[in-house]
Amino acid sequence: MKPEEELRELVNLDLKIKKLGEQIYDSPIQLYDDDYTDDYSIFVPDYERVLTTVDYSLINKIGHEGFTAPSFEKAGPREKLFFKPGDTVSAIVTCGGLCPGLNAVIRSIVLMNYYRYGNKIVYGFKYGYAGMVKEFGHEVVMLTPELVTQIHTKGGTILGSSRGNQEPVKMVDRLEELGVDILYTIGGDGTQRGGMDIIKEIERRGLKISVVGIPKTIDNDINFIDKSFGTETAFSEATNAIYSAHTEAKDAYYGVGVVKLMGRDSGFIAANATLATGMVNICLIPEQDFDLEGEHGVLAEIERKLLEKKHVLVVVAEGAGQKYLLDPANIQRDASGNVKMGDAGVFVRDAIKKYCDLKKIPVAMRYIDPSYMIRSVPPTPNDSIFCLQLAQMAVHAAMSGRTGMVVGYANGHFTHLPMEVATSKRKKISLMSQLWQSVLEATGQPITFSLDRNGSK
């Protein structure tokens, strides 16, 4: 989608954040100092917004057409709270696949509640939404500062995880039984859609329970959010696989390295790892259709690079080339509703080998799939900081009585984004973006693998 089209889409979206009621309690957070003037405050006013774009020409054009520039509510501590500090009970659930930083988010939620808001009770539900159903018998963990002190240095989640939703009635029954005031849902779009179902049941019962999401997607594909936690760690870790594949390929006569990276619908990990290493010759992502065969197909380009350099390195995002792997008449899905995709890495590897055998090029094939190694590692220091700040902003939002929202990050600011908007579609790489142009320049690959040099079929 072009930037102007995206902006017009945002103009028509409802970006208002739901509140449970009047904010009547004073925040216990005090960071004043005698050096500051009386009008200084660390609190964010409820009216403060963050523009969805910093492109002046787009904002100006929207203004001239009579529209107000779309903006997100700005995140941060509020001076007045809905929930009473010291008396608020919280719970955390982690869902979906593993992602670097999950433990760091859990830790920060616990510490923020305990030390900043005086809330001593934070429950942890084990194994995703299944842990919220009492009949399954999963332990409910009491999360304390002592328990979470060092967990941010470890991968995975101390609460465990699972895919798939459960019956909202049973989950809300559990929240009521435990006296939970705030539920933090840490997960991707499926998790947040599950959170929306929980909210509907909460509202049906007339309860005052806040549900605030912290978006977790290693693929960085949450809508209208600049970056997600774990993505930086993922592509940083992926560089090790690329370095290894490059060494193996260049030290072999006609060496071919193929590295498969995560990215079901969006190729951010593959693109960023490609840029970070500077060693990739071809990067294939879900956003760009490609043909294997033909004069300007992927295989012909690999042959040209092999004959020229005597080695080639290919990075493949898992969702690339699915037109060759999926049967539209027989689409299968996992417990989270995601399409079960074919193995793009193995497919590309085998296609290259078959092609080179026919061309009588004696390739030495090296294939690496580091997916599970990547998603289970601890976060990088910078990612760890981001996890901590996301969790802090989530606690601030929840204590103020906001609900049905996720914490986002846009244009250098933390924001509040309605769950409905965040889950409305997946974010993808624009092939006209600076990111993708940088990939093309770094790899030297052609702008397309399906058209001739004049842009026609």
Q: Which two tokens stand for residue 338?
A: 């995601």
219 tagged catalytic: yes
CA atoms within 13 A on the CB side of 127: 9
Helices in 310-405 by DSSP H: which ranges? Answer: 344-358, 371-375, 381-399
Q: How far apart are CA 244 and CA 367, in angstroms?
A: 10
Cα 204–Cα 338–Cα 187 angle in degrees, nearest 5: 55
Total count of residues recorded for the chain: 457
Question: CA-based diameter of the chain, in Å?
Answer: 79
What is the C-alpha to C-alpha distance for residues 392 and 77, in angstroms, rounded to an integer? 9
Residues 6+ apart with CB under 8 A from 210: 20, 82, 83, 181, 182, 183, 398, 401, 402, 403
| DSSP, residue by residue, 46-115 | TT-EEES---HHHHHHHHHTTPPPPEEEEPS--SEESSPTTS-EEEEEE-SS--TTHHHHHHHHHHIIII
Is the Cβ–Cβ distance between 100 and 64 less than 8 Å? no
Strands (E), 242-390: 255-261, 282-284, 311-317, 364-368
Q: Indicate the DSSP class of residue 313.
A: E
Sheet containing 121-125, strands listed edge to edge, beginning at the edge strand earlier in sequence: 49-51, 71-74, 413-418, 405-410, 210-215, 182-187, 89-94, 121-125, 140-142
Whole-number Å distance between alpha carbons of 215 and 403: 14
Q: Could you give the CA distance from residue 119 to residue 87 in angstroms, rounded to a whole number?
A: 6
DSSP, collapsed to helix, strand or coil, labels residue 306 as helix
| Residue of 181, 189, 197, 219 with catalytic role | 219
Enzyme catalytic residues? 219
